[in-house]
Amino acid sequence: MSRELIRMALQEDIGEGDVTSAYFIPEDRMARAFLTVRREGVVSGVSIAEQVFAEVDPDLDVQIMVEDGSRVSEGAMLMKVEGKARSILTAERTALNFMQRLSGVATLTARYVDEVKRTRARILDTRKTTPGYRLLEKQAVLDGGGTNHRIGLYDRAMVKDNHLAAEGGLDSLQAAIRLLKSEKPNVQVELEADRLDQVAEFLKLEGVDYILLDNMSIKDMRKAVAMRDEGSKIFLEASGGVNFETVRDIAETGVDFISVGALTHSAPALDIGLDFVPVE
């Protein structure tokens, strides 16, 4: 999947050819360059950038200096690239686009993870991802210390308010859960609750793996956690209104997971640049 996306991104950028490099850079000019981070953060997408350079020119010598998931300070060198100057320049923007975007996701995730340290809560991503980038952005969340929610519609049933409104009551809901578990035993079931009476009802159902506490107050989240039996295997996930001002309070209610759509839909890019150095 990543190779297909890389090829599409390069075709989008290069089109019929890199006219700047072709007309202004001698074909035999050799060069050395470093990808350097210009602001502290968490790195992701290094391996993708390496694939970009290899796709443009397999003869480029690429040396990874910092692995994905590493916390880096301003000025850290992430990668060294040596070979034809034309090839490096042609690959530069696409490689940086991937790394800046994915490192931004990893960096934002790490900030949220830091906010909930010493609680039981884990930070989750969502499906609010850039089309085509989902697996890369989900990996960036892992690089930042977060946890992946479902990848798509196929690997977890998530029954939300609209599903419940159209579905027809608890008996029908229980029957649907049993049927799903019998036919797809590896698929987990999550039910969305925005009221405490729903939480109480859902805790009694068989086959429920997660209950999503949607836009609940801190007080109600604490009550929902208290309603769960000590030996219950049902996880509680908080969602809605999550930001740096609220996430710690949410975590301290005792929920197991906190989902944050901003990890992928609002992460600012990490500033990374490519700098040429003289070749001896």
Summarised one tens digit per residue, pLDDT across range 206-233 is 999 999 999 999 999 999 999 999 889 9
Q: Are residues 186 and 256 in the same domain?
A: yes
Q: What is the mean pLDDT of residues 183-190?
A: 96
Q: Are residues 214 and 85 in the same domain?
A: no
Q: Are residues 152 and 259 in the same domain?
A: yes
Q: Are residues 161 and 145 in the same domain?
A: yes
Higher-confidence position of 162 and 146: 146
- Model confidence at 166, pLDDT cuts 50, 70, 90, reads low
pLDDT over 80 at 168, yes or no: no
Q: Looking at 128, 181, 228, 248, which residue is catalytic?
A: 128
Identify the domain containing residue 9 by its residue range.
2-112+267-277
Summarised one tens digit per residue, pLDDT across range 251-262 is 999 999 999 999
Q: Looking at 3, 120, 160, 184, which residue is catalytic?
A: 160
Q: Are residues 140 and 46 in the same domain?
A: no
**184 is a catalytic site residue:** no
Q: Are residues 243 and 162 in the same domain?
A: yes
Q: Looking at 39, 71, 80, 93, which residue is catalytic?
A: 93
Q: Are residues 99 and 118 in the same domain?
A: no
Residue whose token pair is 């350079």:
53
pLDDT of 279 reads: 79
- Model confidence at 2, pLDDT cuts 50, 70, 90, reads confident
| Overall domain count for the chain | 2
CATH label of the domain that carries residue 242: 3.20.20.70
Question: CA-based diameter of the chain, in Å?
Answer: 76
pLDDT of 167 reads: 59
Q: Looking at 18, 68, 190, 214, which residue is catalytic?
A: 214
**192 is a catalytic site residue:** yes
Q: Are residues 122 and 95 in the same domain?
A: no
Q: Looking at 50, 115, 190, 192, which residue is catalytic?
A: 192
pLDDT of 230 reads: 84
**214 is a catalytic site residue:** yes
Q: What is the mean pLDDT of residues 172-177?
A: 92
Residue type, 118: R
From the number of C-beta atoms within 10 Å of its C-beta (0-12, 13-18, 19+), residue 172 rates as exposed
Under 8 Å CB-to-CB from 1, ≥6 apart: which residues? 135
**128 is a catalytic site residue:** yes
Summarised one tens digit per residue, pLDDT across range 43-102 is 999 999 999 999 999 999 999 999 999 999 999 999 999 999 999 999 999 999 999 999
Bridging pattern class, strands 77-84 and 30-37: antiparallel
**80 is a catalytic site residue:** no
Q: Are residues 72 and 118 in the same domain?
A: no
